[in-house]
Amino acid sequence: MITAIIVDDEARARETIRKMLSSFCPQVSVIGEGFSVESGYSIINQLKPDAVFLDIEMPDGTGFDLLKKFPSIDFKFVFITAYQEFAVKAFKYSAIDYILKPIDPSDLVKAVEKLNEIRYSDEINQKFKTLVENAEMPEGKSNKIILKTFESVIVVHTDSIIRCESQSNYTLFYFTDSTKVLVSKTLKEYDDLLSSSGFLRVHQSHLVNLKFVKNYKRFPDSQIFLSDGTTIPVAVRKRELVEEIVKKRD
């Protein structure tokens, strides 16, 4: 059983979340509620829950402010918000779950299932630190991304990623310092995540950071040449797009 607290400034929202958890996530037991940063902080300290379902905007601050009050976060959390402009990309890059209102039951179920995947408080604190840094990052600047390996959770700047290569259900990251990291997620997931940050999937097995593309050769085999000396094949359907991008840079 997962003990949980709901922190939301709207009574109706708290009631809805409580009922949905009861109906769709019976493994979660709601043991308390808060309606502000201060009340949430107080009841979390008092009841020591396993998890907190947390609104972002409240009268006396934000969910971020609440979590910042803890020297070390030793509970799991899921943000629930009606505000999409609250840096959705920051949540995804930081591997932190969020649910948009109105709540879709399937989103709630998935978020609860993912809570069980978090094992250590160090991971929770690292993810939250990365979330705050990404949320405060000016638009267009390099973001940090959480990568979970078999041994640990690491944080890297997207600017340090040269390319990603599919390894079946895994993805191999190549970095500017010549290191490599194998992550247990598919290349498609990182294509979805990084495509808005200057990355392009030029081939079924290859996602590249366009900042490191040095040249492009269309004949006899379509290939791009990266700054680390790597040559990557380009799929037929991506040839025109890659050629256009390289020409614009030149």
Do 41 and 66 contact (CB within 8 A), yes or no?
yes
Examine the fold and report which residue of 135, 153, 184 is the final residue of a domain before the chain moves on: 135
Above 90 in pLDDT, residue 87? no
Examine the fold and report which residue of 71, 101, 135 is the final residue of a domain before the chain moves on: 135
With pLDDT > 70 as the criterion, what percentage of the chain qualifies?
95
Residues 21 and 126 in one domain: yes
Residues 185 and 105 in one domain: no
Confidence of residue 83 (pLDDT cuts 50, 70, 90): low
Residue 102: strand, helix, or coil: coil
DSSP-assigned beta bridge partners for residue 98: 79
Supply the pLDDT for residue 81. 83
Confidence of residue 10 (pLDDT cuts 50, 70, 90): very high
How many domains does the chain divide into?
A: 2
Range(s) of the domain holding residue 111: 2-135
Do 87 and 40 contact (CB within 8 A), yes or no?
no
Above 90 in pLDDT, residue 172? yes
DSSP-assigned beta bridge partners for residue 156: 145
Residues 67 and 172 in one domain: no
CATH code of 75's domain: 3.40.50.2300
Confidence of residue 211 (pLDDT cuts 50, 70, 90): very high
Examine the fold and report which residue of 76, 101, 135 is the final residue of a domain before the chain moves on: 135
Confidence of residue 84 (pLDDT cuts 50, 70, 90): low
Residues 130 and 244 in one domain: no
Supply the pLDDT for residue 47. 97
Q: What is the pLDDT of residues 21-79, one digit of tens each?
A: 999 999 999 999 999 999 999 999 999 999 999 998 899 999 999 999 999 999 999 99
Residues 39 and 65 in one domain: yes
Q: What is the pLDDT of residues 151-168, one digit of tens each?
A: 788 999 999 999 999 998
